[in-house]
Structure 1
Amino acid sequence: MTSAYDIPVTTAEGTSVPLRDYAGTLTLIVNVASKCGLTPQYEGLEALHRDYADKGLRIVGFPCNQFLGQEPGTDDEIQEFCRLTYDVTFPVLGKIDVNGPDAAPLYAHLRAEAPGDWGPHHGEFYDKLNTITPATEPGDIVWNFTKFLLDDQGTVLTRYEPPVTPDDIKKDLQHHL
């Protein structure tokens, strides 16, 4: 079985690098967007990065414009937004697709390994998204700020759907670090 860490990714500068370069004890992978109602999660992600990086957590952001065009900027504009608006110091890589025929290989792998738990138990957010985006393929990313926690071997430990905040993840991080 392929590890997520064996899959190359592209930096915001356009360089292909192995995801292994970003690996640590744990890696949190997140599809991000700068014009989404969930964009303030950047603040929580940065707080996790600052609180847990020295304990072995790596966070890697992947901008995606597939959800109502909420990440329209260029890679340079996205980098500037992250730095100036949220003082992001964790890596935010090049813009990608997370679903469909042009999905980045990493996300095709993550979706297959952890199809998710998107359902009515997510309440109002679930109801709203189901009116905005019709039914998706099993395992598809449903919105910005879906998160995957990987172990040191690149295996998905947990998939967190968009309404799960970085603060909600702390308990799992403390358990695995």
Structure 2
Amino acid sequence: MSGIYDFSPNSLAGTPQPLADYQGQVLLIVNVASKCGFTPQYAGLQAVYERFQGRGFAVLGFPCNQFGTQEPGSEAEIGEFCSSNYGVSFPMFAKIDVNGDGAHPLYQYLKKAEPGILGTEAIKWNFTKFLVDRDGKVVERFAPTTAPEDLVARIEKLL
């Protein structure tokens, strides 16, 4: 795979969703979980999405159960949880692995494009964030502790 737009992960509905559909937009790609200490960040992600979506910005949520089995539900349960508890309207995708042999190719690409602290590629926990510019270049990686609202200036700069 040569770039972010070459991937077509499955949506929560189970159908392939080409990332090429987001070409020309600034993206915030996040591995998420419903039973994590960082789960309240869904509210911040939704707020940032609502603030900038009209300017060519999208949050893409990728549920992951690899960290403390904090995303045990089905895709339908995940969608219902996000909608009813946080009003999530940004695109959500099917549950994936972000580490190990079964890591989704998108996350293999993201981790190589923007390694973490000291060059480590592994995702350390849920709510790790990748910021992608309008050209599809991964420009920055953020730790789970980075609140979505703390990314507003960086997002505005890319818009």
Q: TM-score, structure 1 length as denominator? A: 0.86
1:73-121 deviation per Cα after TM superposition (whole angstroms, max 9, x unaligned): 0000000000000000001110000000000000000001101127xxx
**Cα RMSD between the aligned structures?**
1.4
Q: CA deviation at 1:138?
A: 2.4
CA distance in 2 between counterparts of 1:52 and 1:101 reads 35
Flag as ranges the 4+ runs of structure 1 deviating above 6 A. Answer: none
Matches within 5 A, 1:19-168: 19-117=19-117, 138-168=120-150
Residues 6 and 19 in structure 1, CA contact (< 8 A), matched pair in contact too: yes
Stretches of structure 1 that go unaligned for 5 or more consecutive residues are 119-136
CA distance in 1 between counterparts of 2:87 and 2:24 reads 22
Residues 24 and 136 in structure 2, CA contact (< 8 A), matched pair in contact too: no
Greater C-alpha radius of gyration: 1
Equivalent pairs, count: 159
Q: What is the aligned-residue identity percentage?
A: 48
Stretches of structure 2 that go unaligned for 5 or more consecutive residues are none
Q: CA deviation at 1:23?
A: 3.7
Q: CA deviation at 1:52?
A: 0.5
CA distance in 2 between counterparts of 1:164 and 1:35 reads 18
CA distance in 2 between counterparts of 1:24 and 1:69 reads 34
Q: TM-score, structure 2 length as denominator? A: 0.95
Instruction: Give SS of 1:80's match.
Output: helix
